[in-house]
Every structure is written in structure tokens, then in C-alpha cells.
């Protein structure tokens, strides 16, 4: 699918998965059981900038980790849904409660738990290393891998199309 200028200019909400999107999908496990992920600073800058410019930013993820929640809050994200089994239910509840039209949402996911949500969004986005089924339904496929600037690339392209970057 080709991305159009209209696809970019109607977006006012970004929703992201965590593992494989905001991170590279690697999970470092320590002897004490702590699990650590690495976030990309440039993705973080873009998220903060989008929030300052009035965009909604939310995260829906299957994992619930204290460190991840802290990082997301540091970025200024208020709508954080971690430990979610059925992402589509959380997505539907979120857009209903916030009065968001699905056509104005850019969702970036990387694997099958994101599939149903992506089918309902205005702009379906994924990192370059997303699962094949996700790449096939995506309108925007980043040139960057998950955790390596894919989020920044999406946000920057949308904000530039709207003269807000």
C-alpha cells in the first residue's frame, strides 16, 4: 500500500507497541530476574516533540514492566496500557473514551498481537524488521528497525507533512 499526503495530514494520535517498536525486541534477563530493554533516544525526542505540539500519544503493550512504565512517563506519555492481552479491546475503549476517530490514528506495531488493531487504524505503520504479515498490511514501513529510529521516522514524516516539525 502506498502512503498518501492525506494519510499523513489527518493523523492526530500516535499509538505504539513497545517490544519490537520502541525497543529492538531484545530482552536482557539478569540473575535476579530483572528484565531490561533499551529505548532509542531519538524516538524519545520525537515523542516528546509530538506531545508538545498537541498530538495524543499512547502505548499498548502485552508486557507490564516497571522500568518500561517509568520510561514512558519520562517521555510525557499519559495513556499507558501495559499487560494487555487483547490489544484491540483496549484500542476500541481508548478511542471511544477519548472521542478519537480511528482514521486519525497512526499505530505502529511489529507482530501478530498488533494485527487486529492495525486493521482499524487510519495509518498502519511498522518497523523495517516487523513480521511479514504486519509488513503486508502496513501503509508505512519504516526504513529503520524497531528500537532503532522507526518511531522517530514515522512521527517526523507526519509532523513535517503538517508543518509542525
Give pLDDT, residue 140.
96
Closest CA to 107 of 95, 86, 96, 121: 121
CA 141 distance to own-chain centroid? 13
Question: What gap in Å lies between CA 135 and CA 140, rounded to an integer?
Answer: 9
List the strands of the sheet with 79-81, edge to edge. Answer: 79-81, 56-60, 13-16, 105-108, 123-126, 140-141
As a three-state string, the secondary structure of 150-163 is HHHHHHHHHHHHCC
Length of the chain: 165
CB 158 within 8 A of CB 140: no
Percent of the chain at pLDDT exceeding 70? 96
pLDDT digits (tens, 9 = 90+) for 15-28: 999 999 999 999 88
For residue 4, name the pLDDT band (cuts at 50, 70, 90): low
Q: Is the pTM of this model over 0.85?
A: yes
The long-range contacts involving 27-31, CB below 8 angstroms and separated by at least 24 positions, are none
Averaged pLDDT, 86-93: 97
How many whole angstroms separate alpha carbon 154 and alpha carbon 143? Answer: 10
Q: What is the CATH number of the domain that holds 45?
A: 3.40.50.1000
- Alpha carbon distance 36, 29 (integer Å): 7
Q: Residues 125-152: what's their mean pLDDT?
A: 98
Contact criterion met (CB below 8 Å) for 48 and 76: yes
Count of structural domains, the chain: 1
The pLDDT value recorded for residue 7 is 76
Summarize pLDDT for 23-67 with one digit per residue, the tens: 999 988 999 988 889 999 999 999 999 999 999 999 999 999 899
Cα–Cα distance for residue pair 108/25, rounded to 1 Å:
14
Q: For all residues of the chain together, what is the average pLDDT?
A: 95
pLDDT of residue 33: 85
Q: What is the pLDDT of residues 99-118, one digit of tens each?
A: 999 999 999 999 999 999 99
Look up the domain containing 22 and give its range. 5-161
Residue 65 and residue 76: Cα distance in Å, rounded?
17
Amino acid at each position: 500500500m502506498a502512503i498518501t499526503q492525506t494519510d499523513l495530514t489527518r493523523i492526530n494520535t500516535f499509538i505504539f507497541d513497545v517490544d519490537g517498536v520502541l525497543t529492538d525486541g531484545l530482552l536482557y534477563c539478569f540473575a535476579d530476574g530483572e528484565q531490561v530493554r533499551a529505548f532509542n533516544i531519538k524516538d524519545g525526542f520525537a515523542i516528546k516533540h509530538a506531545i508538545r505540539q498537541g498530538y495524543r500519544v499512547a502505548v499498548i503493550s502485552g508486557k507490564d514492566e516497571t522500568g518500561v512504565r517509568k520510561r514512558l512517563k519520562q517521555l510525557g506519555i499519559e495513556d499507558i496500557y501495559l499487560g494487555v492481552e487483547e490489544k484491540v479491546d483496549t484500542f476500541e475503549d481508548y478511542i471511544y473514551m477519548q472521542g478519537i476517530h480511528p482514521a486519525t490514528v497512526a499505530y505502529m506495531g511489529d507482530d501478530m498481537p498488533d494485527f487486529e488493531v492495525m486493521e482499524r487504524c487510519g495509518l498502519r505503520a511498522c518497523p523495517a524488521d516487523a513480521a511479514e504479515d504486519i509488513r503486508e498490511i502496513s501503509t508505512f514501513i519504516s526504513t529503520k528497525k524497531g528500537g532503532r529510529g522507526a518511531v522517530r521516522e514515522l512521527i517526523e514524516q507526519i509532523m513535517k507533512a503538517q508543518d509542525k516539525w
